[in-house]
Amino acid sequence: MTAETIQAPRRRRKTKLLPYLLSLPALLVCVGILIPFVTAVYYSMLRFRLNLPAMKGFIWFDNYINFLSDSEFWNTVRVSLLYTGLTVGVELVFGLAIAMLLQKQTRFNNLASILLLLPLMTAPALAALMWKLMTNPNFGVLSYLVQLAGVSDFKWASAPSTALFTVVLVDVWVYTPFIMILLLAGLRSLPRQPFEAAALDGVPRRFVFFRITLPMLAPYMITATLFRLLDSIQQFDIIYSMTQGGPGNTLLVFQVRSYLEFYQYTNVAKSAALLVILWAITYALSNIFIKQWLKLRERARGSA
């Protein structure tokens, strides 16, 4: 008998269906996301204001084209990128420094790293309120300390010149521990031999840091940075709680601006177009991120 003459066995139907059945709820949630997502893309190509329903109409890419000559739009791009660059940059340097300080597994270091989790677990909106209380011009302890240091007239979030600094500070306070904790786990999982060999050979520390530590830690740094970039470019909670995008237009990042566009000016289409642009940016970033993240994840699983 040859292989061709034998019929393929009947499959166990139930087993084949089971995975689909199990993932059905997750699939429904997916659909639940995709419908409003497609709707948003559609809205972004309309002339659509809630207060002027009669004007509703399809205008293709006019909303996007209008952005090109809209200085407000470019202000949003500039502020968003500035905010993202500043927060992620500071957090990465700061987080790496702290991780290296706490690298050695001592009881004190472990306790410190646990305590550093607390800001990260504070709701960003509430963290913004906490800092708002501390920077209150009348009684805020930080306002007092700044004054004590000789800087008068420092208005924190209420002055255009210092508002960005203030929200970046809050973001750094909340999210530096995130980078720190990832890099700490990364540092502690590195093989020891290269470092021991370098110590034996008396290789200078700076050389060890730039030629051994950084390259080996790179996958963790890239993953953590992309993770933060993705969150930071979409920041809403901290800025909205602290200043609602003000003073003026100083802090109108993408999401805050589209929120105001929607609720204050009821311009649904413009708001949607802004969000679609933001989505395109995050989508590109998240594709890079997911690749890096899968690599790391495989490594973590492999060593388990």
Between residue 179 and residue 238, which ones bind other proteins under the rule CB under 8 A?
Answer: 181-182, 185-186, 189, 220, 223, 227, 230-231, 234, 236-237
Q: Cα separations (Å) of 101 from 34, 174, 183?
A: 44, 19, 11
> Which one of the spans 25-33, 51-59, 85-93, 210-218 is the region binding other proteins (CB under 8 A)?
25-33
Nearest distance in Å: CB 178, other proteins? 7
Nearest distance in Å: CB 30, other proteins? 5
Nearest distance in Å: CB 177, other proteins? 7
Q: What does the angle CA 240 – CA 81 – CA 39 come to, to the nearest 5 degrees?
A: 65
Cβ atoms 219, 296 nearer than 8 A:
yes
Element at 270 (helix H, strand E): helix 268-302
In angstroms, rounded to a whole number, what is the distance separating the alpha carbons of residues 269 and 64? 10
CA-nearest of 271, 279, 278 to 50 is: 271
If binding is defined by CB under 8 A, does position 138 make contact with other proteins? yes
Looking at the Cβ atoms of 69 and 200, the one nearer to other proteins is: 200
Looking at the Cβ atoms of 69 and 188, the one nearer to other proteins is: 188
| Residue selected from 63, 76, 250, 271 as contacting other proteins according to rule CB under 8 A | 271
If binding is defined by CB under 8 A, does position 149 make contact with other proteins? no
Nearest distance in Å: CB 257, other proteins? 10
Looking at the Cβ atoms of 250 and 258, the one nearer to other proteins is: 258
In angstroms, rounded to a whole number, what is the distance separating the alpha carbons of residues 243 and 246? 5
Nearest distance in Å: CB 102, other proteins? 7
CA-nearest of 36, 79, 45, 131 to 257 is: 79
| Residue selected from 131, 154, 171, 221 as contacting other proteins according to rule CB under 8 A | 131
With a CB cutoff of 8 Å and minimum separation 6, the contacts of 284 are none
| Residue selected from 118, 149, 152, 206 as contacting other proteins according to rule CB under 8 A | 118
| Residue selected from 91, 119, 162, 267 as contacting other proteins according to rule CB under 8 A | 119
β-bridge mates for residue 46, sequence order: 58
If binding is defined by CB under 8 A, does position 112 make contact with other proteins? yes
In angstroms, rounded to a whole number, what is the distance separating the alpha carbons of residues 69 and 206? 48
If binding is defined by CB under 8 A, does position 130 make contact with other proteins? yes
16: which 2 tokens?
């084949």
Cβ atoms 66, 47 nearer than 8 A:
no
Interactions with other proteins, residue window 57-96 (CB under 8 A): none
